[in-house]
Structure 1
């Protein structure tokens, strides 16, 4: 079984009140050094079998037509989930 990950973020010109709230809370928790936070969405799409180029193309189409709102969001990544945490 394969898995594709789609990450969607608000466009830079769109206000992100959740990100701002997190950015303000971090110093209160003793976590310093971050000047800004943007909060987005992550989708995990499971497929039967391996992740092929055709699967990735279908995931890209889903990302741009249904998983994101192109007026206010950018699809920033469509990739196979390899299980490695970056």
Structure 2
């Protein structure tokens, strides 16, 4: 089995109002050195060994997990070691 970690973020050219709100809140809390806050999504799941790996993961990301018009994604795959 493999554990897949997917990271989805808005493309750089897309305004991130949630990131701006968090940045403003951090400044109000005294963290004035923080800038360019961007908010994203983290998705984690396990796939069976028989799955078609990379192709299936890309298809999942592009069809459901990320809106590729406004979001970028990247993923990491690691082997699950059972004890």
TM range (shorter): 0.7 to 0.9
For the pair shown, the structure with the greater C-alpha radius of gyration is: 2
**Could you state the TM-score of these two structures normalised by the residue count of structure 2?**
0.76
Unaligned runs of 5+ in 2: none
The number of residues matched between the two structures is 79
Unaligned runs of 5+ in 1: none
Structure 2 counterpart of 1:71: 69
Quote the Cα distance in structure 2 between the aligned partners of 1:19 and 1:7: 16
Q: What is the Cα deviation at residue 57 of structure 1?
A: 3.5
Structure 2 counterpart of 1:46: 46
Structure 2 counterpart of 1:60: 58
Q: CA RMSD in A?
A: 2.4
Q: Is residue 2:66 matched to residue 1:80?
A: no
**Could you state the TM-score of these two structures normalised by the residue count of structure 1?**
0.73
Quote the Cα distance in structure 1 between the aligned partners of 2:37 and 2:55: 30
SS of equivalent residue, structure 1 residue 20: helix
1:21-71 CA-to-partner distances (Å, cap 9, x unmatched) read 00111122222321110111111112346xx9x434322221122211111
